[in-house]
Chains A and B, each alone.
Chain A
């Protein structure tokens, strides 16, 4: 159930009667003589004083959001203050990787301290398998009913509140002509100048499918399960590979400073934000297409303040909040009533990702990467 504003601060509604009961006004009208009324007043005041820490706690209910570290800036700018004001609570954002959030949920399964998680879809699949999530329903989060098809997963276990896309980021000071194709990463002029996301990171996984597509020349739907072809592509990329990042800010820093020229498989939400910040970063959707990187949100089963947790989820699934966070994240909204901002790629193929296939094979791919791509 969505927590209405008037009910949010239950402590607040208790304070007024307690103030009346405390008898402060009565006390001022009384003389210094101790009588039954003054005794009652003093008792009331004492009760108020003793109870006040609990009331204060009730006023400042807090929920912890486990999300991606890179989401913290827009969370703080566009979500936190507005939500805290509206629901009279406090939000704490723990930014890390999705798999680390999963670990935290799993380790604290008996006494969860995180209320809401914002994680990648493949990690959500693992969380569902371990019974860590509480289903979202339209009753508890009415905005669920206004989402685009394909953005509510596994009977509402989680939903997508944003759809960033994945393409190629480049240093616009070095490359005056933006890369047009994913194949550009193999060119000799980019020796030791290419960065890819590590397969440890969710955004590293679509590169496997693009490699398979580029190496086999087959349509994506046919090629994406040809993992041998994908690794042949990675091995071919070795001379040009500067590093495989696990920390996205580090990768962008290297590119912005000119050490790297391109990040292949970069997230629009980060790359375009850096451009907006004035960094020499360009973001392109190559002609072979781009990948959507759905950002999921879910309520942690048994987490603190479930009412606030569902209220938070509802807000992020709503058009109002999505209209605020879509422009700075350069992602596509998922709410049908939200506006798609100008400047988003159009007319380019968006390749869907088979996250179930990813979840099944990810560990094996990481092991294979270690062996075949080691320095």
Chain B
């Protein structure tokens, strides 16, 4: 039995080798580059980076946008995941298709489509003027709001699907049992449903946050080069400014921040589940 298990472990070998070659080694090179100077190992690059107020602004931009995109995806995606899990037959097929099919459309295509939608005469502006929220057409393109809306649309399926996979395992009778015991709807949600769905929520947050914190094409097209994030600064450093040192530093900072946030959210979710 033990031998079988060790043999089964080898099934992961191709994927491990692939990831080591195309991901881990280049990543190590990147990390090494960020602490290597002409005179050997140095943290001067990081010191210079963090000493520059502009770097903090870029970090702030990155975290704020990624956080907002994740929040919007969670608020929109959470109820959708329930609708999807509780739907049956054709309705579920249609809902699933509506969520999964957009994944087959490239990010660039979506970003260009959002450019049209977010224009001054785009449908969002027309709608908001139509219902009286705005008195005159306004532009959302090249604004942070437009970026969050466009990015949330692209990443929404990555929030819905993990939550859906957890929700569909929850026995609906649990809520009924709570109700028969006299627990109100809000309390039932916070004491029963939310704790049970937390693993899916954490996975969704981890997915969406990691994607949003490192997005490059979407901000380039929806907000332009007057709004720098760590990812766009990294891309520019390598591709345009030919400043590998800065690019390695920004990439490392981005990686550390993303990993920290994902780990932290996972830790908080576990604690919350235990507490509830």
Contacts and interface: CB of A to CB of B under 8 A. Distances in A.
Interface of A: 97, 99-100, 102-103, 106, 126, 192, 198, 200, 241-247, 250, 253-254, 257-259, 363, 366, 370-371, 373-375
A250 B221 contact: yes
Given A244-B224, A375-B226, 4 more contacts: A99-B240, A259-B139, A363-B243, A375-B143
A363 B224 contact: no
A100 to B, nearest CB: 6
A258 B121 contact: yes
Given A100-B239, A246-B225, A370 B119 contact: no
Contacts of A100: 239-240
B236 interface: yes
A243 B119 contact: no
Contacts of B78: none
B239 A192 contact: no
B242 interface: yes
Nearest to A195: B224
Contacts of B209: none
B119 A97 contact: no
B242 A244 contact: no
A259 B220 contact: no
B46 interface: no
B57 interface: yes
B141 A374 contact: no
B239 A374 contact: no
A375 B227 contact: yes
A152 to B, nearest CB: 26
Contacts, number: 67
Interface string B220-240: 110111111000000010111
A247 B144 CA distance: 19
A366 B241 contact: yes
B58 to A, nearest CB: 8
Given A102-B242, A259-B141, A374 B228 contact: yes
A201 to B, nearest CB: 9
Contacts of A363: 241, 243
B224 A243 contact: yes
A250 B224 CA distance: 11
Interface residues of B, number: 28
Given A99-B242, A244-B226, A375-B144, A257 B119 contact: yes
Interface string B114-142: 01100111000000000000000001011
B54 interface: yes
16 contacts: A99-B239, A100-B239, A103-B239, A106-B242, A198-B225, A200-B225, A243-B142, A250-B221, A254-B115, A254-B119, A257-B116, A259-B141, A366-B240, A370-B54, A374-B57, A375-B227
Contacts of A245: 224
Nearest to A201: B240
Given A259-B119, A370-B54, A371-B54, A242 B242 contact: no
Contacts of A258: 121
A375 B232 CA distance: 15
Nearest to B139: A192
Contacts of A253: 115
Contacts of A103: 238-239, 242
A250 B115 contact: yes
Nearest to A257: B119
A259 B120 contact: yes
B141 A375 contact: no
Nearest to A370: B228
Contacts of B236: 200
Contacts of B240: 97, 99-100, 200, 366
Contacts of B225: 198, 200, 243-244, 246
Nearest to B221: A250
